[in-house]
C-alpha cells in the first residue's frame, strides 16, 4: 500500500463502514447510526430519484415526531404566533416543486489530501418532486413583521449531552421567495428518514438548510448562532491557497450549490468506429442548466451533449452524448456543465477546509478495442 493510500484510509477509518454490496439496488452506507448513506452514482439515472434510493444524511439520532400529536409552531417576530397540525397545514394552497437536494459535503472524499467529515463521493444528491405549502403563505398567516430578516428552523432531533443541536436559519428573502414546507416526496408521504411529517425545501441551496422533522419556525431580525452557523457550513469569501484554512471572518454561510455534472452511464469497453452513448445529470444553484459538454482530449475541445426535455429551474437536467471512438487505447471522457449565469464547472474544485461543494470535472475511462 502506498503511504498516501494508507493515510487516506487511516484518516477515513472512523467514518467508513464496509459498504454492503448485498442487494442489487441499494444505498452505500457510510457510517452506523445515525444513518448516513449515499446513492451509487450509476443508479442516479432517473429524472426523479426514487425515495428508497435517495441519500440520507442526519447529524444526530433522529427523534421522529408522532404525526398524530405533531404541530408546527410559528413564532418570533410575527403578529399572531400559530401552532398548526398537519391537517390544518394541508388546508393551505398546495404547491409542488421539482428540485435537487445536495448535501454541501457531497464529493468531500474526492479531495486530496483527505478532509475530515463524512466521506461522500458522488451520491449525496438526488432530484425529487416535493409537495407542500409555501413558507410565505404560512408566515403571512402569522402576520410576519417587516423587520424579520431571518427564519430560524428547528427540527425535533435532539443530540446527546453537550453536543451542539443542529440549529440553522435562512435569510428571510429566500424563505419568502420559493421555499416550501414539504409533506410529500415524489407523490408519497414524506418518508421518516427524509424528515416526516414536514421538512424545508430550499430550491438551489445546499442540504443543510433543508431542515427535517420541523417542529418550529421562528422569525427574527438576527441569524441563528451556534456551531452549525458560526463554524460549520461556511464558504470562503475569496478563493485561497489550497491546504490553508480560512478564518471564520473570511467565510460566509454556504448557500447556493455549485454548477456540476456527473456521468452515471458509460460502457467500460468500446470498439473503434462503433458509437456509444454516455449519460448523466447536471444541476446548479442558478436556475437552469444552459449546456453540458464533453471532451475526449482533457478540455482542448468540447462537444455539446443533448439535454433531456424534462426540466425545471432548480431540478437537475439529464443529458446524453453519442461518441464514436476514433482509435484504439484508453479514452478519457469528461463532462462540464454551464448554467444560465454562464458559470462553468471548473477543472478543479474550489479549496475549502470542509470540502464543501466539490464540483470538479468528472471523467470516465473507456477501453477502446480495434
Ligand atoms: N433536523 C435535521 N434536519 C436536517 C439534518 C439533520 O441532521 N437534522 N441534516 C441536513 C443535511 S446536512 C442534509 S444534506 C439534508 C439531507 O436530507 P435527506 O436525509 O433527506 O437526504 O437534511 C438536512 N436536514
Ligand atoms: Mo448536508
Strand 36-38 versus strand 56-57 pairing type: antiparallel
Q: Which three cell numbers stand for residue 183?
A: 409533506
The three cell numbers of residue 217 are: 419556525
Per-residue pLDDT at 20: 40
Spatial CA neighbour of 349 closest among 260, 281, 217: 260
pTM of the predicted model, to two decimals?
0.91
The residues, ordered by sequence, that sit 6+ positions from 236 with a Cβ below 8 Å of its Cβ are 246, 250, 251, 350, 351, 352
- Relative to the CA of 54, which ligand 1 atom is closest? 21
The distance of Cα 88 from the centroid of its chain, to the nearest Å, equals 30
Cα(56) to centroid(ligand 2), Å? 9
Name the residue with the closest Cα to ligand 1, atom 13: 207
| 11 phi and psi angles, rounded to 5 deg | -70, -35
Ligand 1: distance of its center to the CA of 78 in Å?
Answer: 26
Among 39, 70, 315, smallest CA distance to 190 is for 70
Ordered per-residue pLDDT tens for the chain, 370 residues: 344 443 343 344 334 344 444 446 888 888 766 789 999 999 999 999 999 999 999 988 788 888 889 999 999 999 999 999 999 999 999 999 999 999 999 999 998 888 989 999 999 999 999 999 999 999 999 999 999 999 999 999 878 788 888 889 999 999 999 999 999 999 999 999 999 999 999 999 999 999 999 999 999 999 999 989 988 999 999 988 888 899 988 999 999 999 999 999 999 999 999 999 999 999 999 999 999 999 999 999 999 999 999 999 999 999 999 999 999 999 999 999 999 999 999 999 999 999 999 999 999 999 999 9
Ligand 1 centre and the CA of 159: distance in Å?
14
Backbone angle region of 195, left / alpha / beta, with phi > 0 → left and psi within -120 to 50 → alpha? left
* C-alpha dihedral (307, 308, 310, 312), degrees to nearest 10: -20
The confidence score (pLDDT) of residue 301 equals 98
User: Which is it for strands 289-295 and 306-307: parallel, antiparallel or unpaired?
Assistant: unpaired
Whole-number Å distance between alpha carbons of 207 and 211: 8
Q: Which ligand is nearest to the CA of 210?
A: 1
In angstroms, rounded to a whole number, what is the distance separating the alpha carbons of residues 71 and 51?
Answer: 24
Output the CA 323–ligand 2 centroid distance in Å: 35
Instruction: Work out which ligand 1 atom sits closest to the CA atom of 34.
Output: 7
Write the CA distances from 152 to 211, 226, 361, integer angstroms.
10, 12, 35
37, 39, 54, 59, best to mutate for ligand 1 pocket (most atoms within 8 Å of CB): 59
Q: Which string of DSSP letters, residue by residue, matches 302-329?
A: -EEPEEPS---TTS-EEEEEEE---SSE
Calculate how far, in angstroms, residue 361's C-alpha sits from the geometric centre of ligand 1.
26
The pick from 53, 212, 254, 255 for probing ligand 1's pocket by mutation, whose C-beta has the most ligand atoms within 8 angstroms, reads 212
C-alpha cell of 180?
Answer: 416550501
Q: How many residues does the chain have?
A: 370
- The H or E element containing residue 97 is strand 95-102
Task: Pull the grid cell for residue 228.
Answer: 452549525
Q: What is the pLDDT of residue 24?
A: 67
Q: Ligand 2 centroid to 105 CA: how many Å?
A: 6
- Classified as helix, coil or strand, 333 is strand
Please identify, by atom number, the ligand 1 atom nearest to the C-alpha of residue 156: 1
Q: Which ligand is nearest to the CA of 191?
A: 1
Continuous segment of H or E residues that includes residue 195? none
| CB 151 within 8 Å of CB 205 | no
Residues within 6 Å of ligand 1 by CB: 54-59, 101, 103, 155, 157, 166, 194-195, 207-208, 210-213
| Ligand 1 atom with minimal separation from the 104 CA | 14
For atom 11 of ligand 1, the residue with the nearest CA is 208
Amino acid at each position: 500500500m502506498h503511504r498516501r493510500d494508507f493515510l487516506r484510509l487511516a484518516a477515513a477509518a472512523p467514518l467508513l463502514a464496509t459498504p454492503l454490496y448485498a442487494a442489487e439496488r441499494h444505498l452505500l452506507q457510510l457510517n452506523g447510526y445515525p444513518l448516513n448513506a449515499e446513492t451509487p452514482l450509476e443508479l442516479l439515472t432517473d429524472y426523479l430519484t426514487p425515495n428508497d434510493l435517495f441519500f440520507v444524511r442526519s447529524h444526530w439520532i433522529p427523534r421522529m415526531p408522532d404525526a398524530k400529536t405533531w404541530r408546527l409552531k410559528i413564532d418570533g417576530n410575527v403578529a399572531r404566533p400559530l401552532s398548526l397540525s398537519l391537517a390544518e397545514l394541508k388546508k393551505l394552497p398546495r404547491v409542488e416543486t421539482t428540485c435537487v437536494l445536495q448535501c454541501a459535503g457531497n464529493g468531500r472524499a474526492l479531495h486530496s489530501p483527505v478532509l475530515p467529515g463524512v466521506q461522500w463521493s458522488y451520491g449525496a444528491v438526488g432530484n425529487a418532486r416535493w409537495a407542500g405549502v409555501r413558507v410565505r403563505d404560512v408566515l403571512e398567516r402569522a402576520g410576519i413583521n417587516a423587520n424579520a430578516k431571518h427564519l430560524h428552523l428547528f427540527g425535533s432531533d435532539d443530540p446527546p449531552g453537550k453536543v451542539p443541536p443542529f440549529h440553522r436559519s435562512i435569510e428571510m428573502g429566500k424563505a419568502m421567495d420559493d421555499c416550501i414546507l414539504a409533506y410529500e416526496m415524489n407523490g408519497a408521504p414524506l418518508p421518516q428518514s427524509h424528515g416526516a411529517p414536514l421538512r424545508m425545501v430550499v430550491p438551489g441551496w445546499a442540504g443543510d438548510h433543508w431542515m427535517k422533522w420541523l417542529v418550529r419556525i421562528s422569525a427574527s431580525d438576527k441569524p441563528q448562532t451556534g456551531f452549525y452557523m458560526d463554524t460549520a457550513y461556511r464558504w470562503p469569501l475569496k478563493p485561497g491557497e489550497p491546504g490553508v484554512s480560512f478564518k471564520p471572518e473570511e467565510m460566509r454561510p454556504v448557500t447556493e450549490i455549485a454548477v456540476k455534472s456527473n456521468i452515471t452511464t458509460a460502457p467500460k469497453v468500446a470498439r473503434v468506429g462503433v458509437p456509444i452513448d454516455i449519460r448523466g445529470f447536471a444541476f446548479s444553484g442558478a436556475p437552469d442548466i444552459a449546456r453540458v459538454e464533453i471532451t475526449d482530449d482533457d478540455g482542448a475541445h468540447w462537444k455539446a451533449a443533448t439535454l433531456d426535455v424534462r426540466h425545471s429551474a432548480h431540478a437537475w437536467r439529464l443529458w446524453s452524448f453519442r461518441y464514436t471512438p476514433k482509435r484504439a487505447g484508453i479514452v478519457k471522457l469528461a463532462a462540464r456543465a454551464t448554467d444560465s449565469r454562464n458559470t462553468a464547472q471548473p477543472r478543479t474544485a474550489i479549496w475549502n477546509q470542509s470540502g464543501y461543494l466539490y464540483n470538479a470535472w468528472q471523467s470516465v475511462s473507456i477501453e477502446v478495442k480495434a
